[in-house]
Amino acid sequence: MLTIERGRTNVVPPVLLTVCVVLLFMRGVSIFYATFYHKAPERIVAWQQPKALDKSRRDLLSRPSLYFFCDNSNQFNSIMTQLYDNMLFQNREIVSMINESVVPIRVVLNGEKSDALAKSLKNSLRVTNTPSACLALPNGAYVESTAWQSDRMFVAFLHDAMEHSVRTAGFEAMRNTDWDTACKAFQLDFENKPSDELVDYYGTMYWSIALRHNHNEARAREVLQDALKRNTKAIYFDKDDRWPEPCVHFLLGEISWDELKKRASEYKKKHKYQAETAQYVYAANLLLEGKTEQAKKELREVAENKDTRYYYSGKFARAELRGLGETYPKEEEDNDTESYD
């Protein structure tokens, strides 16, 4: 049998062996302690009980709600919920972000036996898997959701969702023809971004429309010009990414409606939404110029287009028409929480 003699070059240092054995013992003890004696820390997120969504709320810029959906109907889901509770919601950075910036609401599902309120929230916020977290505006408008279990990704999700919530608040305010809130939200969204970053044309375009509704023509022109100036040097590898730049030129009066229509038809995705967005911008511009009858006709075309029902152009057109006294039922689109630019 091979043996190692003391003092030879192939001897394992006793110190190393001792350290190794001690650390292995400590490993065993720490795992044993964690398994049988360690108590999970108390929940430090102040979760609230769920309530039915109040779609009539207009305070869209107040704290958004973070819905945490968990399901205890099977063992796997229970373990995953424990992971969220014991890791994600014990991370000090996540806890302070949740407690300071959102209203945390815990929705406990129980498979098919879930109560009506939990089911309704799950459907309204389009929850497909549990556990997952979803950020929504005070009126229940969906912002963003995640099912990621890594704490760093969860922090990233929260940052991202908080930023998007401001922009979504602007769009939701446009749907309510609440121009004041829309202007505030778009302004806030603009200020949140670094000054040398590309500007989102959609947000800017709708912001300028809201500003004009608020009789602030000069600022409306200024935000459009600023957006063009900031985005002008960007390189776009996909031509479609430039959309809706022509709409901005149109709102500035630099191109005609015919020219805008022609440019909208040049984009690959024109059949999906470009033509409708252009038409909505044209109609909104007519309305702001006081040509109400002509504007109504154009808005009706956008509002009644089935293909773009869930696009913001369609939703805004219906909102403007409702503001002009026409009846467009809101229920159907309210059940759908998703919207597209």
Catalog residues that contact other proteins under the rule CB under 8 A.
2, 4, 9-13, 16-17, 19-20, 23-24, 26-28, 30-32, 34-36, 38, 40-41, 44, 79, 82-83, 86-87, 90-95, 148-153, 156-157, 159-160, 194, 196-198, 230-231, 233-235
Between CA 217 and CA 211 the distance in angstroms is: 7
Least Å distance between CB 110 and other proteins?
19
If the CB atoms of residues 158 and 319 are measured against other proteins, the closer one turns out to be 158
Least Å distance between CB 199 and other proteins?
10
Least Å distance between CB 146 and other proteins?
9
Least Å distance between CB 241 and other proteins?
10
Instruction: Compute CA 222 distance to the chain's CA centroid, rounded to the nearest angstrom.
Output: 27
Closest C-alpha to 144, from 44, 153, 213, 10: 153
If the CB atoms of residues 194 and 325 are measured against other proteins, the closer one turns out to be 194
Q: What is the DSSP string of 66-80?
A: EEEEEE-SSHHHHHH
Q: Return the amino acid letter for 82.
A: Q
Closest C-alpha to 181, from 228, 125, 221, 141: 141
If the CB atoms of residues 92 and 113 are measured against other proteins, the closer one turns out to be 92
If the CB atoms of residues 130 and 308 are measured against other proteins, the closer one turns out to be 130
Least Å distance between CB 192 and other proteins?
13
If the CB atoms of residues 198 and 288 are measured against other proteins, the closer one turns out to be 198
If the CB atoms of residues 148 and 310 are measured against other proteins, the closer one turns out to be 148
Cβ atoms of 184 and 191 within 8 Å: the answer is no
Between CA 270 and CA 101 the distance in angstroms is: 39
If the CB atoms of residues 59 and 197 are measured against other proteins, the closer one turns out to be 197
Radius of gyration of the chain (CA): 27
Is the preceding peptide bond at 244 cis, omega within 30 degrees of 0? yes
| Residue indicated by tokens 């913001």 | 312
Least Å distance between CB 70 and other proteins?
15
If the CB atoms of residues 17 and 46 are measured against other proteins, the closer one turns out to be 17
Instruction: Compute CA 36 distance to the chain's CA centroid, rounded to the nearest angstrom.
Output: 41
What is the three-class DSSP state of 218? helix
Q: Name the DSSP letter for residue 241.
A: G
* Angle, in degrees to the nearest 10, between helices 201-213 and 312-323: 10
Least Å distance between CB 193 and other proteins?
9
Q: Which residues contact 200 (CB under 8 A, 6 or more apart)?
A: 167, 189
Which element (helix H / strand E) includes 108?
strand 103-109
Least Å distance between CB 38 and other proteins?
7
